[in-house]
């Protein structure tokens, strides 16, 4: 039996993106597009998506399994917010070839302190964007 050769070890591994992950992302983006329009994200300030991402992440951390508005898993909305932020970043910097390479390290204690400070804030934030 002959074994073929394929020089693709440096190619992106789209097979690692599981269908259920992509489906959940598509559902969350579809929900937002139905509610606000396909290209609405371009006109919304980034901090609004950061805030929404954090709210959905907090909902997940509190044990919520479905968003009260869409019925989707909170992490589907986290993925959608992150995808929108990345899309906006890439659109704003079309020449960007790779992600930022600076790594910021925090100790567990520092992360816990930041989390506590964030949770203490009385956030006056509009409802989730989808």
- Among 25, 35, 130, smallest CA distance to 87 is for 25
Task: Name the pTM for this structure.
Answer: 0.68
Which of 49-63, 73-87, 93-107 is predicted least confidently? 93-107
Q: Which segment of 18-22, 63-67, 116-120 scores lowest on mean pLDDT?
A: 116-120
pLDDT (tens digit, 9 = 90+) per residue, 14-46?
999 999 999 999 999 999 999 999 999 999 999
Contacts for 29 with CB less than 8 Å, ≥ 6 apart:
80, 83, 84
CA distance 25 to 10: 26
**Domain layout of the chain by residue ranges:** 18-96
């Amino acid at each position: 039996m002959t074994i073929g050769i394929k020089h693709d070890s440096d190619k992106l591994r789209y097979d690692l993106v599981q269908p259920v992950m992509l489906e959940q992302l598509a559902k969350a983006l579809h929900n937002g597009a139905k509610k606000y329009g396909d290209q609405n994200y371009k006109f919304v300030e980034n901090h609004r998506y950061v805030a929404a991402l954090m709210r959905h992440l907090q909902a997940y951390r509190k044990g919520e399994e479905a968003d009260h508005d869409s019925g989707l898993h909170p992490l589907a909305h986290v993925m959608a917010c992150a995808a929108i932020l990345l899309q906006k970043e890439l659109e704003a910097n079309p020449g960007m070839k790779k992600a930022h390479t600076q790594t910021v390290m925090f100790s567990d204690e520092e992360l816990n302190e930041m989390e506590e400070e964030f949770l203490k804030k009385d956030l006056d934030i509009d409802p989730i964007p989808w």
